[in-house]
């Protein structure tokens, strides 16, 4: 039996880990449905998706028909900032998920003062969320964010019972104020990007780190049921971080530095059709792929980077304030050096 906790002030009993619905977009419908079913059969009851996640809602909706709805906790999200579009996204999500209600529904990606003013203002998404709760379509209001300042302001409105925010050992800003405030206000905390958005490949290290925090629910994106099986084996028998583990964490953080892409996608689209996030992860690709495969990835992705006009729009959109054009130029240099040498020691 997977350990459960009471999720903030909602009163809902949720498993210590959720199922993140992004990766199943890459699967065929039968494959995606199969993965969701297998994860639920393992005992995981917390399922997280979003209107923006392609056909994820639809696949999850097909899978959950085999289970008692009241035994599951379904949460989805809408990036709409206005009331009417927000409610449209909610209704479409309910149809796709084949359910009459969302246990938790989130205003997706409230990352700036402008976002907050829109969703919380007159005719904003918050009005839609309140209406949906009144009509029985949503049980508990929530939001997601990548910005700790905005997240804190949203929480302090007292209008939310859950928050989703990034948290892992390289992206641990939430540890300072967001998680303590969530505990103080009895707000459920969904841990976004527990594996660093794909940057971290040691699940044992990641989840043993997260299990130190008793009132959070990691929400890993899962593409294979074996991935969840591995995660459950870690969280059901967690061992404390050793001194060697702590040294490894420091080494990984030092290697990544501060200027790394969190792959949130909020910088898109680019007016020059540059694949922004992909162009920022070429170092990771070089480290993990064979030479030819890395080149096959890099060539089309980096081709348009030289078209950058440095308009600054992507910098304004980035919730982590990355100087994206500058990082691109550095990555271009890395790619050129790698093409000539074929060596991964090209990051100096």
Over residues 56-68, the pLDDT tens digits come to 999 999 999 989 9
- Dist. CA 248–CA 135, nearest whole Å: 50
Asked if pLDDT for residue 94 goes beyond 70, the answer is yes
Average pLDDT estimate for 177-196: 96
- What percentage of the chain has pLDDT greater than the value 70? 95
Cα–Cα distances in angstroms (integers) from residue 276 to residues 26, 171, 270, 307, in the given order: 20, 20, 7, 12
Which position has the higher pLDDT, 344 or 294?
A: 294
191, 219, 116, 54: CA torsion to nearest 10 = 160
pLDDT mean over 133-146: 97
pLDDT tens per residue, range 214-249 = 899 999 999 899 999 999 999 988 788 999 999 999
pTM: 0.82
Residue with the bigger pLDDT between 318 and 343: it is 318
- Flag the least confident range among 39-48, 104-113, 183-192, 270-279: 270-279
| Domains in the chain, CATH or no CATH each | 4-242 (3.20.20.100), 276-341 (no CATH)
Average pLDDT over residues 337-342: 82
What integer pLDDT is reported at residue 12 of this predicted model? 97
Q: State yes or no: pLDDT of 289 exceeds 70.
A: no
Alpha-carbon gap, residue 45 to 234, rounded angstroms: 17
Residues 6+ apart with CB under 8 A from 157: 120
Residue 264 pLDDT level (bands cut at 50, 70, 90) = low
Q: What is the mean pLDDT of residues 115-121?
A: 97
């Amino acid at each position: 039996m997977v350990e459960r906790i009471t999720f903030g002030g909602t009163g809902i009993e949720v498993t210590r880990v959720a199922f993140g619905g992004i990766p199943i977009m890459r699967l065929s419908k039968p494959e995606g449905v199969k993965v969701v079913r297998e994860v639920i059969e393992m005992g995981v009851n917390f399922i997280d998706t979003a209107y923006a996640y392609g056909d994820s809602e639809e696949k999850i909706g097909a899978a959950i028909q085999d289970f008692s709805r009241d035994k599951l906790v379904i949460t989805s999200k809408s990036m709409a900032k206005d009331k009417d579009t927000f409610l449209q996204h909610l209704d479409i999500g309910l149809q796709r998920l084949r359910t009459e209600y969302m246990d938790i529904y989130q205003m997706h990606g409230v990352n700036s003062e402008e976002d907050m003013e829109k969703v919380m203002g007159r005719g904003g998404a918050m009005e839609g969320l309140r209406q949906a709760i009144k009509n029985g379509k949503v049980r508990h209001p929530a939001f997601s964010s990548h910005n700790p300042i905005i997240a804190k302001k949203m929480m302090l409105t007292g209008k939310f019972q859950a928050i989703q925010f990034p948290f892992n050992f390289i992206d641990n800003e939430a540890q300072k104020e967001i998680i303590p405030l969530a505990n103080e206000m009895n707000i459920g905390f969904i841990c976004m990007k527990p594996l660093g958005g794909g940057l971290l490949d040691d699940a044992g290290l990641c989840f043993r780190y997260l299990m130190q925090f008793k009132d959070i629910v990691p929400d890993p994106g899962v593409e294979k049921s074996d991935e969840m099986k591995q995660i459950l084996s870690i969280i059901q028998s967690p061992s404390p971080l050793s001194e060697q583990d702590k040294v490894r964490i420091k080494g990984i953080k030092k290697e990544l530095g501060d200027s790394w892409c969190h792959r949130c996608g909020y910088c898109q689209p680019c007016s020059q059709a540059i694949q922004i996030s992909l162009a920022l992860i070429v170092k990771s690709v070089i480290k993990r792929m064979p030479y030819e495969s890395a080149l096959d990835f890099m060539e089309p992705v980096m081709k348009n980077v030289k078209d950058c006009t440095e308009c600054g729009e992507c910098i304004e959109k980035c919730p982590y304030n990355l100087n994206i054009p500058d990082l691109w130029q550095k990555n271009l240099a890395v790619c050129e050096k790698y093409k000539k040498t074929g060596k991964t020691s090209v990051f100096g």
